[in-house]
Chain A
Amino acid sequence: MTDWPATIAVVLGVILCVLSAVGLVRMPDVYIRLQVASKASSLGIALLMLGVALHFGELSVTIRALLVVVFIFLTAPVAAHVIGRAAYITGTALASGTTPDELAGAYDPETGRLAGLGDRLAGEEAGGELPTTDDTGEDTGRR
């Protein structure tokens, strides 16, 4: 006898995990690779844990599987954000199709802090425009 709900959850979870690994190899730059590596694999692990909970059908196992899912859903976005931020600050190249680099010049090189949206809008009202890639000299060697 086959436990269909658990089997379907496991198969879908494994497919998502495989897709995220394929995306990690195929995607053109770090920022896009972060998307596949964090989103697809966290959904895949969530489905696998659903499969585990359905297969065992005990309260203690279900709680632990739920704990894994909650933990991964809390930490994967944070890790992806921190990695993406570090990649941008260390000057990792964007893919050639990424045309408006809206972060260009937004990070303070001294402190590493992002200039707030309020500051940037104030700069715009004071006569300037939001910095874009092609009209500032601040985009140093990023391609």
Chain B
Amino acid sequence: MMGHITGVPDTVIELALVALAVSLVLAFVRLVRGPSLMDRVTSLELIASLVAAIVAVYAIGTDDPALIDVAIALALVAFMGAVAFARYAELRERP
């Protein structure tokens, strides 16, 4: 993880990745516990955001700007997923 001569310290990057991994576990707890379908959709939305955050931190850590495109694609797909889930849950109520 050596990059620029000036940069974000490797320790900060590693601690940030650990903290974000713990957040992923917390979001997963909500995904499992529910209780409603919409809780799970909310949790999936947050998981996508957290993965985008992990990708951003990893891009800084590895000095690879190409990874930012991954974050763009993730944000896009997650939004589509959440809207589709909500739409169909709503339509199921009134056939």
Contact = CB atoms under 8 A, between A and B. Distances in A.
Interface of A: 1-3, 6-7, 10-11, 13-15, 17-18, 20-22, 24-25, 30, 33-34, 37-38, 41-42, 44-45, 48-49, 51-52, 55-56, 58, 60-61, 64-65, 67-68, 71-72, 75, 78-79, 82-87, 89-93, 109-112
Interface of B: 4-9, 12-13, 16, 19-20, 22-24, 26-27, 29-30, 36-39, 41-43, 45-46, 49-50, 52-53, 56-57, 59-60, 65, 68-69, 71-72, 75-76, 79, 82-83, 85-87, 89-90, 92-94
A131 to B, nearest CB: 20
Given A21-B24, A112-B94, 17 more contacts: A6-B60, A14-B57, A17-B49, A20-B23, A21-B22, A21-B23, A22-B23, A24-B46, A55-B60, A65-B68, A83-B41, A86-B38, A86-B89, A86-B90, A89-B93, A92-B36, A112-B90
B94 A37 contact: no
Most chain A beta-carbon contacts within 10 A, residue among B6, B43, B75: B75
A45 B46 contact: no
